Structure formats: structure tokens, C-alpha cells
Amino acid sequence: MTRLKMGMVGGGMGSFIGDVHRKAASIDGMIELVCGAFSSNKEKSIASAKELGISGNRAYGSFEEMIEKESLLPEDKRMDFVAIVTPNHMHFPPAKLALEKGFHVICDKPVTLTLEEALELEKVVQSSGKVFALTHNYTGYPMVKQAKAMIAKGDLGDLRKINIQYLQGWLATAVEKTGQKQASWRVDPEKSGIGGALGDIATHAENLAEYITGTKIKELAADLTAFGDGRVLDDDGNVLLRFENGAKGILTFSQIATGEENNLGIRVYGTKGSLAWYQENPNELTLYWLDKPKQIYTPGGNGTYPESSDYVRIPAGHPEGYLEGFATIYRSFAKELNSLKNGKPLSKQPDFPTIFDGVRGMQFIYAAVESNKNNAKWTKL
Amino acid sequence: MTRLKMGMVGGGMGSFIGDVHRKAASIDGMIELVCGAFSSNKEKSIASAKELGISGNRAYGSFEEMIEKESLLPEDKRMDFVAIVTPNHMHFPPAKLALEKGFHVICDKPVTLTLEEALELEKVVQSSGKVFALTHNYTGYPMVKQAKAMIAKGDLGDLRKINIQYLQGWLATAVEKTGQKQASWRVDPEKSGIGGALGDIATHAENLAEYITGTKIKELAADLTAFGDGRVLDDDGNVLLRFENGAKGILTFSQIATGEENNLGIRVYGTKGSLAWYQENPNELTLYWLDKPKQIYTPGGNGTYPESSDYVRIPAGHPEGYLEGFATIYRSFAKELNSLKNGKPLSKQPDFPTIFDGVRGMQFIYAAVESNKNNAKWTKL
Amino acid sequence: MTRLKMGMVGGGMGSFIGDVHRKAASIDGMIELVCGAFSSNKEKSIASAKELGISGNRAYGSFEEMIEKESLLPEDKRMDFVAIVTPNHMHFPPAKLALEKGFHVICDKPVTLTLEEALELEKVVQSSGKVFALTHNYTGYPMVKQAKAMIAKGDLGDLRKINIQYLQGWLATAVEKTGQKQASWRVDPEKSGIGGALGDIATHAENLAEYITGTKIKELAADLTAFGDGRVLDDDGNVLLRFENGAKGILTFSQIATGEENNLGIRVYGTKGSLAWYQENPNELTLYWLDKPKQIYTPGGNGTYPESSDYVRIPAGHPEGYLEGFATIYRSFAKELNSLKNGKPLSKQPDFPTIFDGVRGMQFIYAAVESNKNNAKWTKL
Amino acid sequence: MTRLKMGMVGGGMGSFIGDVHRKAASIDGMIELVCGAFSSNKEKSIASAKELGISGNRAYGSFEEMIEKESLLPEDKRMDFVAIVTPNHMHFPPAKLALEKGFHVICDKPVTLTLEEALELEKVVQSSGKVFALTHNYTGYPMVKQAKAMIAKGDLGDLRKINIQYLQGWLATAVEKTGQKQASWRVDPEKSGIGGALGDIATHAENLAEYITGTKIKELAADLTAFGDGRVLDDDGNVLLRFENGAKGILTFSQIATGEENNLGIRVYGTKGSLAWYQENPNELTLYWLDKPKQIYTPGGNGTYPESSDYVRIPAGHPEGYLEGFATIYRSFAKELNSLKNGKPLSKQPDFPTIFDGVRGMQFIYAAVESNKNNAKWTKL
């Protein structure tokens, strides 16, 4: 095995999500960071590179410079792929350029600033023949994979009710006015797009629900609110859902839910059983049955399917967390790249979120905003 | 103290809710059962009386007979009040007659079959000068009272988000076709009214939310479903809520949520803090704060207010359950009756649910059904 | 059914445990309180009687008076049995006299002040032909009965490890010096006997462990401590256990475990599975298996045995608490008395704790105190 | 920052703990694996190296070869430290040699096969001037650090009771007879030493308790058992504990506790408050107070001290797990090495477990085995 070489766009020192991507990429020893456009300020970019233990001459002042200069390096030195960890408005330009110049891309979500960009990027991905992965990281948890596998096998019967929540409280006060960078770009439509909490967290919930259940949201009725003084983007929402398979449900999300940390959770009810999973306690999956006692599954524990246990890094009882789930996306992405290097074709159904998930997320945002403008009228995705 | 004498309408042997009412009434030693129209079949009524340890000549074949004959008994022998524990369609007639004949009434919910009956009963109660209590029993839990008191004192700040759920799974299969009596009347509009799960459980959730938060639902958008084959009444629903104080939220309820037992729960988010309470674990109230660690309050435990701890029967750590919460409604009702006996006037804000809660519940049912007919259009209560 | 008539020794107004006994006795409608020696002060006894809704001429100033005067009443008026709810030192005298005068007895634990008294009482019970029940109330919980049934059927295989805990914190400070009556008699050897927390709570733990597992403690090694300033009786202890079947385990108990309310719990490990039950969350029984996912059983829920579900009063999901568990002891005692009234013989294995449990508890206390005197030397029961 | 270069002894492909060490070392991007004696079979060692993405000429067939050959490499190429991930009997020889040849060492626990070796290694470490870290990884969890900090500041008052448990079930059946390598060396005294579960897991519990509480076990009384058929080493034990500060407690541990996965937990009771932490749910620390409601602390959440929050990698609500806790030991070790490189002296109180913890663990094992031989007689450490 040769380690894959990663170049990063964004993620200078102090960045939250850049650091997450780096740790997630390195856990499994398959990827090493070799270069980055860590900041649009070249000096800062170089300083970040040094702190990260990589050479200053692989630090760039822009993604354009990075892509151009890396392209000129010999194959065994240049980066294999680009990781994009910037705010939403800076996803599309580097993703497009990297793909066009022959680099694979792994990108944070939501995929782009606008639906139009997402649709265009979809075409670029398809024509490039390169791999594009989107870090909807919550699908990397072993218990999420167990949930998906059980539903796919029909263990729960026909699905009838799907309730999802994603509750945070960190925007309960006006932190964006205190200079907190994470907050300030998220409440700014120029950088976030037309959705606030909708794009930042509700898309994770939407993606998780469709991933686990294997069915799609057909239409929705959304009631969005900007509770924070002076905010123009939603910081809270409640949505009625109707799914293609006939199931119904709700999605409630918020970034003003005081005291909540990162409470993503899902309840799925079928005719034979139901399940519950919550991200803050990710190593438990609870199964409820029509005619048997409730069960609690754990990663690699009794009764788990290979579709789940194959993703566990350590024995049952040794909790894995957010970084490991995130790392699973990177690992699957790395396996796909290694497979290509070995001459295999692109996977038709890769084991990580793709541009299609990205487009779907943007459609969800747009439908919710439109529904909300029409006083929660039913709106198709 | 003289024990109050209770006459019961319905609740013959084998009845679930009749037995609950009897146990709840007897826990605190303030009430004794003296008579009943336990069944419309007089022989069965007498048999039930004997099993219950009361004299056969106080068993009646109809509520009319009971009310008439008890009226003729001397005051120290005749019943003080009537407890109505029949299906919904049999609430209004005995309640009206009892009140008109001078008996206090405690009645199961929803208060009547139709909104019209509820509004008429409201007038009867007011003109009678008698006490009418409705057993929205979940408001009797000490931790529910703690939640109400904390919000009333402003501990949570201004409320912004109110999410409620009431999830059961016992109608996930067609149990009404197996001869199960609890199920068969609940799916029958003649006996249940226009709401199915809506009247049976969603009204509890609506009542609990308004009780705890002190604000009212202003309008709602409801998506109701009858998943069960051949059912005409809803067995599942998802509702968007807007409250009078500006808060928003969702209510999700179901009787086809496979594996759920009696999962009533509420999450209330304010600007300073938030709380969570779940009926299946009723002795915990979780408080989340903007700037302090999460806290768990327990009945009579550290930090509880008298508004809550006054309702606890046993020291902290000795769990109280459903019957005790139910009993608290009976105890408050009994205290009100004793107060009247001692010449005091009717309470203006009695410590139990009243006819106003009953009317409100019917308005909720009617608004939800109308909204659903209009494809989840916003509908005022 | 005729309601059984109860006379009470102790339990005047303000008493904690007297009130618990009365509520527990009344829940199921099979028993009514008719008289009492509620206080050694006759006026106080009469005042208590009135508050409890019973006639002042059935209030007595001593248990001797009560037993004598009640004996003179016609059978259909006089009490059927005596409930003893006094501190430990006042258990033996009324129990002995009542039994000798032909009354059944139900008594709080530990059964007597000394082992000698317990052994003598055992003889009195046997020669009297009367029923004697001891309120080791925690054996009344449905999930405790489920645990016992599963082990008896061999579901867990051969038992190897049995860990028990009973942790309270209410004596973490010197509350006995504040005039708190519950505390002051418990730290007084004259009223409590040679065990402090040992008699008050560790006997419950010992009884629960032997009840659930069906095996007996063979020997123990106890390290007892009186942490409270000036206390002569233990308020904390740690005990190594060896059981007759070869299992081993520990018992840890305390009344100075700051912040603990009433945390009685048990973990039992067998060759095929294991279980966990905690009194503060009594409606959950967790089963762990060698080769299946963990399961959670609930009262009356899926998979419960009749040995458990027969004891549930309300459907699954409607939590029962401490009073219901306590009431189950009273109900089983009442059924035994009714059975005798109907001419049936005394049960050989009655469905409630008996004098044998009482003697066993005293042997446990004595063995632990002796072991502790010998620096935790192994001591046989 | 330059990445530190790690050489590994043991940990060939298929090894559980070797893989854990590698992942833990790589998460924070401060360390890279450069060489290894992954197997005593050189071909296997080379195969492992290739799978791990390192050059075959840095794969060695013995630790002696590795240490010798690496010593000859230029400083900027050769390994900085040795990570020892072999069974217990193979800790001492490579640790001693590496230290003597000038390499820092990080070693799995228990530190050596015998107490004698541990005491000798202590001298070697001290004379070498090199850094020696022991991977008692559970001390790396942020909530463990919060617990330690709260106790050190006196938040809980004087400690009185300390209960510890470490419960696993993976040896409930005779897996060592199925060829499972993890099991076979652990039940073999030649490779494990005189303790079975005692060395494998009870030392973790002992270390955790002393780390969190800041007091030491003074003496113990141990009852050890080998339940597994034919086993000579303990697979279960119960221990009474007396601490230097006057606190008392119990330690219960097992590898035959059917259904348990990795249930390490601790309860500490002081005069003002108490706390609970369980490894399987590592992101919660529960605090109980004399006069305030129970609190739940989370990593980086409200109320956490810098002594804890400085160790959190991601915002509150994003769970960290076992690998992150393990990685914290590696990170602190790496920081110490970087500090030395920058000319600073060795830390007097380094932020990771050291040879002193290792010696202490061996003393604990020896005291427990001796106590057990004397039928659980009190034995000093």
C-alpha cells in the first residue's frame, strides 16, 4: 500500500472543520497531507503548513496556484486528491477546477452555494471520470450502517413513519456579533446560500434519513424561522415530510435550541419493528419489535451484520466517535482511489456520499425555502 | 376527615381504565367507592360490585338509575360524586345528568364525543355550581409540575420551540379485528368521534404542552393518516404548531409506531434554558442551560420547587408512577370537594383539569381534522 | 369479596413508612384501615385516627390495648390483621402478642431488634398457625419477578457472579443532630440493633439477591465503617460474598454516598446471560446474552413471563413505582388471608416474604458485624 | 513541527492492539510510523510493513535488529522512539534495550511480566534520561480529566467511598481453546504473569482510580477465581479496598461477566458531592451534589475546566471515543519529546502514565495474588 497524497483547500490553523478532515484522513494510515492552500494569505498558508509538519514550498496562496503547481510535479510527488473544507461559497470553484485538471475531490457539505452550481458540478464530475465524495460524515457510523442494512433486509417490514431531528443551541444568542468566525459566515447568505440551519444541519438530517431508510422525500411542508435578532437566514425549522414509499414523518431542526449540543437523531417505524439512533450516543442502536423485547445493538456486538461490523475498528465496548465516522468516509474514498490506481473502473454505487447526494441536498434546501415562502405549502423536491 | 363517596359509570370487571380510576381514587385514603353503574347489564353490574367489595344493592343497570336512586339516599350515605369511565360517546349524557341532579363529576378524556356537546357541557357545569374534573392525568406527575413552575418563574426565558410527541404501537396491527374491546371502540367514529389517535392520545399531548408552557396553540397544520387497513379514523399524525407567544413546534403522534409503549414526551426551548420530560421515565426532568451543565431533577430531590415537591408522596429515589400521577388529580378533586363541604367557594383556578381543558381539547381535534382535510393548511383553534 | 380490616401499630401522622403502608394497603381495594395504636400518646393516636377518616373509638394508646379491645369485638367488625410500622425495637413485642391472640401480622423489616428475638418469633409464628408477612417490598416489582423467573428457568445458565449495591446519601451529614426523627432512631443501637445501614438497607439488598437468584449467601467478609462523626453504628459497608452455588460477588452499601437517593441495584452473571435491575428505574430489566444483542424488558411488555406479567396493574409503558411494588406484598398477603377465610390451608411457599426471610436477614446482620470485628474475616451465615 | 518517527515492536497485521497504537499515534498528525519489528518472522514483518505503507528495508525480524540498525541511520531518518505492543512477557527486553541504546519508549500495560522486571526497568528509565510512557489509555478521556480536576480542586470535599468496576464477558466461554490468539496468551502464565484478568484489566481500574482520586490504595483483600475450565489464572475477582486518605471501597472485575463488553466504571463519593463515569459512555460525567440537582458534564461543554477542555479535539456534542483517549497519551508523549528536542528538561510530572504507574500496577497485582492465597487477608501494596 502506498499512502495517498492529499492537498487541502482551506483549513488553516484555527479552522474547526479543516482539523477534523485532517484527523479523519490520517486515522487509518492510508492518506498523508502533502500540500494545501490553507489560506488566501500566502504567509498564513505557509505558517499553517509548517505547523502541520509539511514543507513550506507545498503551501499555496490560492487553490488555483495549488492545482496548477501540483500538476507540474512528478506523479509520485504530486497530490492525488483535493480536500475542500472552506465555507459553502468556496466549494464550487475549487471543486470544478480540480476535477477538470484531473484531481479527485472530497468536499464538505452542502455541496455548493446554489442549486445551479450543484447541477453544473454534477456534469463536471460525470465528464471528468474522477471521484467526487461529499462528507456527509454521519453515514460513516457503524450503527447507522447497521440501521440501513436491517431496513434493506426488510427486518422492520414496510416503513410508515420517519421522524428526524437535528438540534443545536450554539446560535441561541447572537454569537455572530462577537466575532466568532464559525457563526459569522453561517448567518451570511453570501457565504451560506439561501439556507441557514437548513443548509448547515438539516441537509445532514435529510441525507441520513434517506440513507438509512432507502426511500426519498417526495414532498415537504416547511415552517422556517429566524429567531435571532437581525438574522435573515433560518435558525430553526419544522417540516412535515411525505416519502415516496408512502411513509410520513417530521423533521425538526434548530440552532437556537438552547442547551443542545449536536443532537442528530432518527426514529424509523415499520410494520414489524422500529429503530432509534442518536448521534450523541452513536454506539447504541435501539430496535423495537412487534412481539419481542427491545434490543440494543452495539458496534461489532452480537447480532450485527457484516454491512456494519466490517466498519468497526476496535472490539465491542470500545466506543468510536465522530472522527472515526468521518474517517470511514475518507477510508472508503481512499479505497476507491486505490482501486482506480489498480486499473479497476469507477464504482457504480460507491460506499460514500457522492455528487448525487449533494444535488439532492440542494434540492431539499430549495424546496424547504419555497414551501416556507408559501406558508408551509406542500412542495415537491 | 370523612372519606368522599364515589359512584362510578362504566368500569365493570375487565375494564382497564375503570380499574385505574379506582386505584387512583383509593391511594390517598380520601375516597371510597360506594356504588356504580358498572355495566348496562344489571346482573353484570351486580357481579362487578360484589367483586369490588361493595353491596349489590348499590349496583345499578344504568347511570340514570344510579343518579336517581342515590339522590333518594340520606346525605351521609349517598354518593358525593360520579366518576365517568366509559368510551367517549358515553361521557356527555351521564355528566350532564349528574351535574343537573347535584352531583360533582370527574370524567375521562376527551370530554365528549363532539365539540357541540363539549360547549353545551361547559354551560351545564357553569350553571350547576358543581365541580367538574377531567382526568388529563399526565399533569399530575411531580416533574410535570416542576417543569410548569420553572417556566412560569421565567427560568427558561422566553419560549421559542415546543416539540411534543405521543407514540404508541398497540394498533400497529389490526387488533380491533381480534375482538380486543379497547381497540374496537377506539377505531369506531360512533364511539370515538371524529378523531382517532387524535382524540385518544394527541389531546393528552396538547393538554400537557399548554399546561407546562402556559401558552396556547394558536394555529396548526396537520397531516393525518389512517395506516391500518380499513380504518376510517387517523391512527397517526404529524402537526406543525404555532403558539400564541410566538413559539413554534411540532407534534407527532401515533398508535402504529411499532414497539412504542406509551411514549409521551415534551421538549421546551427558551432563550435561557430548555427542558425534556418523558412519561415512561417520569421521575426525571432534564434541564439544559445556556451556560451551565445539564441538570437532572427528581421528585422531591435537590432544587425542586414547592409547586412540585408538595405533590410527592414518598422520599426522593422511591419512584412514583402512572397511578400516583392519576391519583393526584383525584386528590386535588377531593380537596376541592372537602373545601366546598367546609363552606368555601369554588376555586377559580382549581388544581386539576376542568371543563375548559375539555373544550380546548375538542377544539384541537376539530382544528386538526379540518386542517388535514385541506392538505395541512394552517387552521386556527 | 369482603375487604380485610387492618389495624396499625405506629404510623401516626408525619410518619413516612406508616403512610407508605396505608397507601400500599389501599391501592388494590382489598383492605381497609379500621383501627390503630398510631402513637403511645392516646390523644395523638385519636387525632391521627380522625385525620385518617376512622372513628376515634378505634384509636388506641398502645398495641396491647388495641389487641385486647379488638379481640372483644364481633368478628365482622374487629380487625383481621395487624400492620407493624414502628422502629425496629418495637417489632417483636406487638408481633408476638398479636400472633398469640389470633391475629395475622404484616411487619416492617428488619424483623426484630436482635437475632434472638427473630428466632423466638419464628417459633411463635409456627405455633400460631397465623400468617406473618415481612415487607421486603422490593421483591414486589414486576421486573424483579421477571428476573427471578428467568433465572429459575435457567435462562442465564449457571450463576457465577452476583453484585449488589444499595446506595443512599441522606446521612452524608449529621442530620440526626438536627432533630430529624427518621435519622435519630436509625443511628441509635437501642432502637436499631447492632446494624446501622446494615439493618436498614443492606438487609433489603441481601433479601433481593437471594430472592432473585434462588441461591443463598454462604459466607461473607465485611468491612464496615461509621463515617459520620460520633456514630456508633455503620453508615457504610463493603462486603465480599460467596454463595452456596459457587457464585461470588460483592455487596456495597452506604447511607453517606452523597447525592444518591435510593439506588438499590443488582447484576447477576450466568454462563449464558446476565441481567441488571435498578430500583430507581424499576420498569426496565436489562438482559445481556452470550450471543444475542442486549434486551430491555418492561412490565407486561413483549417476552415477559406470566410470573411477572401477572403482577402488572396497568399496560406496558405506564410506569408503576415504589408504592405498587409495596402494594403487591399487601395484595399477596390479603389473598392468603382470603384463602384461609375460604377454608384453605396455609400456603407452604407464600408469595411474600415470611419470618424465614426475617431470620435470614438477622443472621446476615450478625455475620457481617462479626466479620467486621475480625477485620473482614470470612464468616458463615 | 517535524513529525516524530515511530518504530514498533510487535503489532503485525491482525494484531488488535498494534493497530490501535498506530491509529492513536497518527490521529493528531505529530507522529509517523517509519519502521518495525512487527513479527519475529522477518518475512511476515516485511509483509506487514508493506501493508502499512512503509519501506520493506525498515522491517526487522527482531527488536534487537531494529534497535541496532536504526541506531546506525542518520538522525533525521532513524526512529525517535519505540512503541512496544507485544504480550506482557515481551515488554521488558525491548524496553530495556531501547532505553539503553538511547531511544524513548512507549509501552503497553502491564509494564512487565514480573514485579522484579518492573523495578529493574524503573532503574533503567531513571539512568537513561529517556522518556518512558505507559499506555493506561483510559486516563486520556476528557471526562476522566474533568473528574480528576474537580476532585483535586476539592469540589467533592473529602473522599469517603471509591467503587470501581471493570467487567468484560469475552472469556465467559473457553475461547482460548478455539485458537483465538488474544485469549490464548492472556490465560498463559508464561506470557501474562501471575495475574490473569488482574493484570489485563484490573490494573487499568486501579490506575484509573488512583489517577482520578489522587489517593492511593493502602491495602486490599482480594477474592480471585478462575471460573473457566482448566484456567490457572484468575478470570474474575472481587476486592475490598482501603485508601491512604481513609476512603474505602470495592473493586469488582471479570472477564467472564457474560454480555459485558468493556464496562470500566468508577463512582467516587465525597462529603460534598460524588461522581460517576463509565467508559462505554465516555462523553458523560455525572456529578451528584449534597444540595443541588445532579449534573451531566460533557467534553468541552458548559462548566468544564481547562484541565479537561484543553484535551477535547472537536466541539461539544461530537463524541470522541477510545482511539481519541488513547491518542491523547501519544500526543502528550510526543509533546514531551518535542520539548526535549527543543532543549527543555524532562518533565517532573509528565502528562501521561510513567514507569511509576507501571511499578504500582505490578505491586497491585502481587498484593492481590498474595491476599487471595491467604483467603482474602488484608495485604498492603
DSSP conformation class of B175? G
pLDDT of residue D15: 85
C-alpha D308 chain-centroid distance: 19
Between chains, do B258 and A288 touch, taking CB under 8 Å as contact?
A: yes
The pLDDT confidence band at residue C16, using thresholds 50, 70 and 90, is: confident
pLDDT of residue B14: 80
Identify the pLDDT of residue C13: 82
User: Using CA atoms, how far apart are residues A225 and C243, in angstroms rounded to an integer?
Assistant: 63
Using a CB-CB cut-off of 8 Å, the residues of chain A touching C292 are 295, 302-303
Alpha-carbon gap: D301 to the closest alpha carbon of chain A (Å)? 8
Q: What is the mean pLDDT of chain B?
A: 96
User: Which residue in chain D is spatially nearest to A31 when comparing CA positions?
Assistant: D53
Length of chain D: 381
CA distance C36 to chain B (A): 15
pLDDT, mean of residues C46-52:
95
What's the average model confidence in pLDDT over D86-111?
97
Q: Please identify every stretch of chain A with a pLDDT value under 70, giving residue numbers as ranges.
A: none
Closest CA to C176 of C135, C226, C239, C225: C226
Q: What pLDDT band is residue B168 in, cutting at 50, 70 and 90?
A: very high
CATH number for C142-312+361-380 (one of 3.30.360.10, 3.40.50.800, 3.40.50.150, 2.40.50.140): it is 3.30.360.10
Contact (Cβ atoms closer than 8 angstroms) between residue B139 and residue B329: yes
Our CA-based measurement puts residue A102 at a distance from the nearest CA of chain D, in whole angstroms, of 24
Share of chain D above pLDDT 70, in %: 100
* Whether pLDDT at C323 is above 80: yes
In chain C the first and final C-alpha atoms are separated, in Å, by 43
CB B226 within 8 A of CB C282: no
Is residue D2 over pLDDT 90? no
* Contact (CB, 8 A) for B13 and B48: yes
- Chain C: nearest CA to D146, how far in angstroms? 18
Nearest C-alpha of chain B: how many angstroms from D286? 9
| Residue of B219, B225, B249, B221 whose CA lies nearest to B237 | B225
Cβ contact C315–B262 (<8 Å): yes
Omega within 30 of 0 (cis) for the link into C189: no
Query: Taking CA atoms, what residue in B is nearest to D301?
Result: B293
Partners of residue D320 in chain A, C-beta under 8 Å: 321-323
C53: nearest CB among B2, B50, B262: B2
Chain A residues within 8 Å of chain B (Cβ atoms): 156-157, 160-161, 163, 165, 169, 172-173, 221, 223, 225, 227, 236, 238, 240-242, 248-250, 252, 254, 256-260, 267, 269-274, 287-290, 294, 375-376, 378
Give D291→chain B minimum CA distance, Å.
6
So what's the ipTM on this one? 0.95
Interatomic CA distance for residues C13 and C28, integer angstroms: 22
Does C257 contact D161 at a Cβ distance shorter than 8 Å? yes
Mutate to test the interface with C, among D269, D294, D379 (most CBs of C within 10 A): D269
- What does the DSSP assignment read for C110-149? SS-SSHHHHHHHHHHHHHHT--EEE--GGGGSHHHHHHHH
Phi, psi of A251 (to 5 degrees): -130, 120
Instruction: Indicate the residue type of D149.
Output: A
Give me the residue from A156, A252, A269 closest to B163, CB to CB. Answer: A252
Report pLDDT for B263: 98
Per residue in B310-357, pLDDT (tens digit) is: 999 999 999 999 999 999 999 999 999 999 999 999 999 999 999 999
Average pLDDT value for residue range C93-106? 98
For cell 440494543, name the residue.
A296
Is domain A4-138+326-355 classified as CATH 3.40.50.300? no
CB D143 within 8 Å of CB D324: no
Instruction: Give the model's pLDDT for residue B150.
Output: 98
Task: Give the three-state DSSP class for A55.
Answer: coil
Residue D13 binned pLDDT confidence (cut-offs 50, 70, 90): confident
Average of per-residue pLDDT across D259-279: 98
Q: Which three cell numbers stand for residue D63?
A: 527488536
Residue ranges covered by each domain of chain D: 4-138+326-354, 142-306+361-380
**B250 SS3 class:** strand
pLDDT (tens digit, 9 = 90+) per residue, B2-23? 899 999 999 998 888 999 999 9
How many CA within 13 A on the CB side of residue A357?
Answer: 28
pLDDT tens digit sequence for C202-235: 999 999 999 999 999 999 999 999 999 999 999 9
Confidence category of residue D1, pLDDT binned at 50, 70, 90:
confident
In whole angstroms, give the CA distance from residue D238 to residue D365: 13
Amino acid at A270: G
User: What subunits touch chain A, counting only 3 or more CB pairs under 8 A?
Assistant: B, C, D
Question: Is D371 a residue whose pLDDT tops 80?
Answer: yes
- Output the pLDDT for position B1: 74
Angle between helices B92-100 and B63-72 (to 10 degrees): 20
Superfamily of domain A142-313+361-380: Dihydrodipicolinate Reductase; domain 2 (3.30.360.10)
The cell numbers describing D6, all together, are: 515511530
What residue type is C156 in one-letter code?
L
Find the chain C residues whose C-beta atoms sit closer than 8 A to any C-beta of A: 287, 289-298, 301-303
Give the model confidence (pLDDT) of A77-89 as tens digits: 999 999 999 999 9
- Per-residue confidence (pLDDT) for residue B13, from 0 to 100: 82
Strands (E), C228-320: 236-243, 248-254, 263-270, 273-278, 285-289, 294-297
Do residues A176 and A335 make contact, with C-beta atoms less than 8 angstroms apart?
no
Query: Which residue of chain C is at minimal alpha-carbon distance from B2?
Result: C53
The string of pLDDT tens digits covering residues C110-147 is: 999 999 999 999 999 999 999 999 999 999 999 999 99
Of the listed ranges A14-18, A211-215, C192-196, C269-273, the least confidently predicted one is A14-18
The per-residue pLDDT for C121 is 98
Region D353-357 average pLDDT: 97
Q: Which residues contact A119 (CB under 8 A, 6 or more apart)?
A: A359
Architecture in CATH of D142-306+361-380: 2-Layer Sandwich (3.30)
- Chain-chain contact of D319 with A3 (C-beta, under 8 angstroms): no
At C82 the three-state DSSP class reads strand
Output the pLDDT for position A16: 86
DSSP for residue C283 = T
Rounding to the nearest 10 degrees, give the CA dihedral for residues B368, B370, B375, B379: -70
| Chain C residues within 8 angstroms (CB to CB) of chain D | 156-157, 160-161, 163, 165, 169, 172-173, 221, 223, 225, 227, 236, 238, 240-242, 248-250, 252, 254, 256-260, 267, 269-274, 287-290, 294, 375-376, 378
DSSP class of C28: T
Measure CB to CB from residue A263 to each of D27, D281, D317 and give the nearest one.
D317
Q: What is the pLDDT of residue D35?
A: 98
Percent of chain D residues topping a pLDDT of 90: 97
Opening angle at CA B140, ends B138 and B145, nearest 5: 105
D301 neighbourhood in chain B, CB within 8 Å:
293-294
Q: Which residues of A touch D29 (CB under 8 A)?
A: 22-23, 26, 33, 52-53
Residue D192's contacts (CB-CB under 8 Å, 6 or more residues apart) are D87, D88, D89, D113, D185, D186, D199, D200, D233
Q: Residue B300 — pLDDT band, cuts 50, 70, 90?
A: very high
Of the listed ranges B184-188, D354-358, D373-377, the least confidently predicted one is B184-188
Tens of pLDDT along D309-346? 999 999 999 999 999 999 999 999 999 999 999 999 99
CA gap C117, C127 in Å, rounded: 15
Give the sign of the dihedral formed by CA B152, CA B156, CA B158, CA B164.
negative
Question: Given an 8 Å threshold on Cβ–Cβ distance, is B323 in contact with C314?
Answer: yes
- Hey, are the CB atoms on C26 and B26 less than 8 Å from each other? yes
Rounded to a whole number, what is the distance in Å from the CA of D121 to chain C's nearest CA?
35
Q: Are strands C81-84 and C217-225 parallel, antiparallel or unpaired?
A: unpaired
**Whether the Cβ atoms of residue A273 and residue B258 lie closer than 8 Å to each other:** yes
Q: Report pLDDT for B181.
A: 87
Per-residue pLDDT band at C14 (split at 50, 70, 90): confident
Task: For B239-275, write each residue's pLDDT tens digit.
Answer: 999 999 999 999 999 999 999 999 999 999 999 999 9
Chain C's closest residue to A301, CA to CA, is: C293
Q: Distance, in angstroms, between D246 CA and closest chain A CA?
A: 33
Q: What is the pLDDT of residues C135-186, one digit of tens each?
A: 999 999 999 999 999 999 999 999 999 999 999 999 999 999 998 888 999 9
Residues ≥6 apart with Cβ < 8 Å to C135: C21, C106, C107, C108, C109, C326, C329, C353
Contact present, D199 and D187 (Cβ < 8 Å) = no
Residue B86's pLDDT band (boundaries 50, 70, 90)?
A: very high
Helix (H) or strand (E) holding A36: strand A31-37
Q: What is the mean pLDDT of residues D147-165?
A: 98
Tell me how many degrees the CA angle B255-B122-B147 measures, rounded to the nearest 5: 55
3-state secondary structure chain D: CCCEEEEEECCCCCCHHHHHHHHHHHCCCCEEEEEEECCCCHHHHHHHHHHCCCCHHHECCCHHHHHHHHHHCCCCCCCCEEEECCCHHHCHHHHHHHHHCCCEEEECCCCCCCHHHHHHHHHHHHHHCCCEEECCHHHHCHHHHHHHHHHHCCCCCCEEEEEEEEECCCCCCCHHHHCCHHHHHHCCHHHHCCCCHHHHHHHHHHHHHHHHHCCCEEEEEEEEECCCCCCCCCCEEEEEEEECCCCEEEEEEECCCCCCCCEEEEEEEECCEEEEEECCCCCCEEEEECCCCEEEECCCCCCCCHHHHCCCCCCCCCCCCHHHHHHHHHHHHHHHHHHHHCCCCCCCCCCCCCHHHHHHHHHHHHHHHHHHHCCCCCEEC
pLDDT exceeds cutoff 80 at C1:
no
Nearest Cα neighbor of D286 from A167, C173, C260, B319 is C260
CATH topology of domain B4-138+326-354: Rossmann fold (3.40.50)
pLDDT, tens digit (0-9, with 9 covering 90-100), for B90-121: 999 999 999 999 999 999 999 999 999 999 99
State whether C294 and A289 contact (CB < 8 Å): no
Q: Which of B157, B257, B287 sits opposite A274 (nearest CB)?
A: B257
pLDDT of res. A253: 98
**Using CB atoms, which residue from D20, D315, D319 is nearest to A314?**
D20
The shortest C-alpha distance from C29 to chain D (Å) reads 37
3-state SS of A314-350 is CCCCCCCCHHHHHHHHHHHHHHHHHHHHCCCCCCCCC
**Architecture of the B141-313+361-380 domain:** 2-Layer Sandwich (3.30)
Q: Do C273 and D256 lie within an 8 Å CB cutoff?
A: no
Phi, psi torsion values for B333, nearest 5 degrees:
-60, -45
pLDDT of residue A185: 93
Smallest CA–CA distance, residue C271 to chain D, in Å, is: 7
Of D165, D256, D290, the CB nearest to C259: D290
Distance from CA of B122 to the nearest CA of D (A): 42
Q: Which residues of B touch C (CB under 8 A)?
A: 1-3, 16, 19-20, 22-23, 26-30, 32-33, 50-53, 168, 170, 260-263, 279-283, 298, 301, 313-324
- Chain B residues with CB under 8 Å of D287 CB are 293
Q: Of D293, D298, D301, which has the smallest distance from its Cβ to B302's Cβ?
A: D293
Across residues B160-173, what is the average pLDDT?
98
Q: Is the pLDDT of residue C337 over 80?
A: yes
Cell of B234: 387517523
